[in-house]
């Protein structure tokens, strides 16, 4: 049972809640959804958008780039693409380092 001071985390948020959270209009959220491929909220059978925690993170990234850092939409899309590419490169590097580490551990055990 949640205690009075525990923050309740919902599974889905409405577009109104998201708009209030970021102090933007609902139409801006819908516009961002049409402009940014990363933002794809779930829709129920009536077509109402249901935003998850992952969607909120995506909106936070878009909001930060566009509203706080002053990126154009084109610039924000490019920045997001570059971020994804850097993340893939980091994952590849980590995978390679883990292989090297495993080889070194094996060599050490043989000595």
pLDDT at 8: 63
Q: Which tens digit of pLDDT belongs to each residue from 20-47?
A: 999 999 999 999 999 999 899 998 899 8
Q: How far is CA 19 from CA 63, 77, 85, 97, in A?
A: 11, 21, 29, 42
pLDDT at 87: 87
Q: Which two tokens mark 6?
A: 């525990």
Q: Which tens digit of pLDDT belongs to each residue from 3-22?
A: 555 556 788 999 999 999 99
User: Percentage of residues in the chain with pLDDT exceeding 70?
Assistant: 93
- Closest by CA to 14, choosing from 53, 46, 42, 50, is 50
- Closest by CA to 28, choosing from 37, 43, 18, is 18
Is residue 19 within 8 Å of residue 25, measured between CB atoms? yes
Q: Which tens digit of pLDDT belongs to each residue from 58-98?
A: 999 999 999 999 999 999 999 999 988 998 999 999 999 99
- Considering the entire predicted model, what is its pTM? 0.72
Domains (range + CATH), the chain: 15-110 (1.10.1660.10)
Give the C-alpha separation, 52 to 33, whole Å. 14
| Helix ranges (DSSP H) in 1-111 | 15-22, 26-35, 53-63, 73-110
């Amino acid at each position: 049972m949640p205690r009075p001071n525990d923050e309740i985390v919902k599974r889905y948020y409405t577009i109104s809640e998201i708009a209030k959270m970021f102090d933007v209009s609902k139409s801006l959220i819908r516009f961002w959804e049409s402009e940014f491929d990363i933002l794809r909220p779930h829709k129920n059978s009536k077509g109402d958008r249901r935003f998850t925690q992952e969607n909120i993170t995506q909106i936070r990234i878009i909001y930060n780039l566009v509203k706080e850092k002053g990126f154009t939409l084109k610039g924000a899309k490019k920045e997001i693409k570059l971020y994804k590419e850097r993340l893939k490169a980091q994952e590849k590097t980590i995978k390679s380092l883990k292989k090297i580490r495993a080889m070194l551990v094996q060599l050490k055990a043989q000595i």
